[in-house]
Structures are given as C-alpha cells and as structure tokens.
Chain A
Amino acid sequence: MSDTGKSVVFRGGGFAPKSRRWVGLAVFVGLIAIAEWGTRSGWISALTMPKPSDVLETFRELYDSGLLFKHLGPSLSRLVVGATIGVSVGISVGVLIALFSYIRSGLVPLVAAIFPIPKIALLPLFVIWFGIGEGSKYALIAFGTFTPTVVATYGAVDNVDRTLIRMGQSFGLSWWSIVRKIVLPGAMPGILSGLRISLAIAIILLVAAEMLGAEFGIGAYILEAGSLYDLERLFAGVVILSLLGVIVSSLIGLVELWLLDWRT
C-alpha cells in the first residue's frame, strides 16, 4: 500500500428522488412534437392519429363558437355535485366503519362487494331510479367516488395514532370532540390521498354518465366525436379531461399544502 492511501469508494446516494421542475412539461412537449412531426412527415397516417396542430385548431373553434363552455358547464356541475355527494357520504361512512365494530363488520364486506362493480354497467338502473335527467348522472359519479373514498377513509382512521385518542379520553374530551379534533385531522393525509383517486374516477365516470340523455357535456362531446370517427374532436375532448385531471390534482396538492403543513 502506498502512503497516499486509496480513497473510500462512495456507495451511498440514490433512492431519494427529488422534484425537477420543467421535466414533466418537457415530456409533454416532446411527445406532442414527435406526434406533430410524424403526422406531418407521413410516417404516422392521418387515420392513426390526428395532427396535434389540427386538434389545437379544433379546440380553438370550440372556444370561439362558445360551445366549449356550453359543454364544460354541465360537465363541471355534474362532476362537482356527484363528487361532493360521493366524497362526503364516503368520508362519513368510512369514519363510522373505522369507529364502530358492528358497522365495520356489516359494511366492510358490502363495500368490498360494491367496489369491483363497473359503475358504467349500472347506468341503465340509475336512469330508472333517478330519471334520464341530471339525477342519474349525479348518482353514477357519486356512487363511483363513494367506494374508494370509504376504503381510503377507514384505512386512514385506522392509522390515526391511538395514543392521541387515549390522550383525548384521558383529558375527558367528549366523543364528538375526539372525532372532530383528533380523528379527522389525523386521518386527513390518508383521506386526501384517497381523494386524488376518487376524483380521477369521477372524471372517468363523467364520460359514462353522459352516455345517456345528455346533449351537452364533455363526455357527450367525446362520445359523439367517437361515433363519427372525428379524431380531432375526440382528441380535443380527451385533452380537456386530461387538463381537468391535472387541475384537480394540483388543487388537492394546494389543499394538502394548506391543511397538512404540520407534517414533518
């Protein structure tokens, strides 16, 4: 061995992904650029995929004609009403399942039975129950968001630190105070990450809900374009749904920043 010695080989590092800004955007831009170049140069045929610039053009026409908001308005209200019903009932039922033995034993198998049912298949049933109008659409979206919210909520409540609940009891806090001030805030991280999934499902179900008895709505627009094989309009509609998903996800991100700043 020489006197200088050999430097120790570094073998730490890795396993700690950091957020790199703009990379996500670059991936989007790159993929769209490839599609544009491919459709222009002809190695992607017009039947396989529409030209991104044409989709943009269709989108502009949609916006100029004012039809965009005519479609977006009803869809957003269906999304908001349906998801609000589904999420709030889901959180309540989830908390009850987590806190009461009989409700838990009774409802967990039921939720497990409901979860895998494709809610789209139930649309005709909802039309009979709630009418061809808005009712069936709210019901479909509410039902679709309900089950994942329930599962996320009772899992989250199960994970609330029991010592905090014992602490609340030891100070003589009422049952309702413990639920409101200890259980719900403690379960909030889990509930919010469940909400990401439930709201994405709500957007997916929007298209299904607008299959029957909807003149306007993003879903109706996509379905109509699809049945006419109008790929530009189909893609324009799909892009709107994607954007909606990104917006909802970043809104939840903001809520997390605001509500969960106590997390280490």
Chain B
Amino acid sequence: MDIRLDNITHSYDDFEIMRDISLDIPSGQIVCIVGPSGCGKSTLLRIIGGLERPSSGAALQLGEPPAGCLNPLTYIFQDFALLPWRSVAGNVSLVLEDHGIKDAKAQAIIDDVLARTKLADFSKALPKQLSGGMKQRVAIARALAVNPAVMLMDEPLSALDSQTRELLMDDLVDLWTRQPFTAIYVTHNLAEAVRLGHRVVVLSRRPGQIREVVDIDKPLAERAFGDADLDSHQKHLWQLMRDEARAADAELINV
C-alpha cells in the first residue's frame, strides 16, 4: 500500500502551517521528513494517520493494505504512549483485544513481536520498571503486532539519550532488513534521517513547503555510524536547513 499526499494545505484559524505538500511514499521504504521546528512536520504526520483533518488537499491510500493487517496506519509516538497500568504484554494485547484476538492467538502474536524487539524476558514488567529505550521498543512491538501497512513515526528517538538512540537505530535497521516495512519518519535529527531514510524530505519553515527531496541509495544495512558519504548527505541537508532554522528560531511563537 502506497501513500500519496495530494496538495495538503493546513492552517489553524488564519495561521498557515503548511502549504501545497504533495508527496508519494512508496511501500517498503522509509521516508524521513525533516524541517525546522514549527514547520508542521508532526501535524503532517497526524494528517496522514487521520488524527487531524487538513484544511485542503488529502492524504490518500493507494491500493489495499496487505492481508492480515489490523491497523494500516500505525503510530509510534515520541513519548511512547504506553499504558502505565498494563504490563509489557498487556500493552501489546491492548491493540489486539478490539479486533477480537484473544487467548492463544493473541499470545502467539505477543510472543512473536516481543521476540523481534528483544523483550521476551520482560513481558510481565510494568512500564515504570523499563528504561526509555525499552519503553520505545515496547511501543515498536505494539505497532508490529497490528501488522501495519505504514508506520508513522513521530520523533520516536527524540526522548532518548544519544547512546540509546544509536542502539535503537540499529534495532530499527535490523527489523527493516529482516522484513522491510513502510514508514514515514518525522525527526529534527539529521543523523537519524540519513541513517534510516531511503528518502529525506526537507520542509521549509512555516508555512511548511517541500524544499528538496534527497534520495539516499546506500542500503540501510550498510550504513554505519560516522559514514563519510552519509556525513556529506547530512552536511548538504544542514546547508538547506540552517538559514530556515535560524529564521524559525527568531520568530515569535503565536500558536
């Protein structure tokens, strides 16, 4: 299933957040969206997932989601959004219960996704007992459990320290390599974007417009920390963004 963004413009009251965003997200690829703060990248993600209505234009699903997909558009949130009163397994089972998947069938799915995210030993732990990196892995396990067609990742690593972030990036690359998934990955961190993105979309400051789309051809599995060609991509992206970011930073906040 592909995603097409068709001329999306969005404003709150008279305040234009983004303008004329058109973009194709082909299945099996990770598309990173970067941009200065306030450019509407998280809002764009909410529009794609149906949590917000654009003022004009539309987010379209092209083709049917694959069989066995319970929730085609599935989020991974910056702050994990785990239910603190449910165990790791309970948090995963939450999203299965509403689809009538219970008992042995649910247990099989839970075991599978916890094994894929290396959480098998922690299924009974409560979120308060877990580190930030583990919490986000639980959220990833929960997303995998519904077999999404597209993962919508909203700064998934931004709440983590830089070492955990490196580890989790490796985990995401492993997951993708074993079973490619489609993802729209919003971040302000350019290192994450060049490491995980097959394609990086640079937005301008408010109102957010697409400034440039950078394709990175190097396979994910071959990208490593501090790669020279990734660095040159990252520098290029930073050149694009620097002035925008500075201007955005100097703006008065009135939203």
Interface on A for B, CB 8 Å cutoff?
161, 163-164, 166-167, 169-174, 177, 181-182, 185-186, 260-264
Contacts and interface: CB of A to CB of B under 8 A. Distances in A.
Q: Give the top 3 A-B pairs by smallest Cβ distance, nearest first.
A: A167-B81, A262-B85, A171-B95
B77 A163 contact: yes
Contacts of B85: 185-186, 260, 262
27 contacts: A161-B81, A163-B77, A163-B81, A164-B83, A166-B51, A167-B77, A170-B74, A171-B71, A171-B95, A171-B98, A171-B142, A172-B71, A172-B98, A173-B94, A173-B95, A177-B97, A177-B98, A181-B97, A182-B83, A185-B83, A186-B85, A260-B85, A262-B84, A262-B128, A263-B84, A264-B84, A264-B128
Nearest to B78: A163
Interface in B62-99: 70-71, 73-75, 77, 79, 81, 83-86, 94-95, 97-98
A170 B49 contact: yes
Contact of B126 (A163, A166, A185, A262): A262
Contacts, number: 55
Interface residues of B, number: 23
Contacts of B86: 262
Interface of B: 49, 51, 70-71, 73-75, 77, 79, 81, 83-86, 94-95, 97-98, 126-128, 142, 146
Nearest to A262: B85
Contacts of A182: 83
Contacts of A260: 85
Nearest to B91: A167
A263 B71 CA distance: 30
A171 B142 CA distance: 10
Nearest to A172: B71
Nearest to B70: A172
Residue from the set A167, A174, A181 with the largest chain B CB neighbour count within 10 Å? A167
A38 B128 CA distance: 53
Nearest to A170: B75
A153 to B, nearest CB: 17
B1 to A, nearest CB: 16
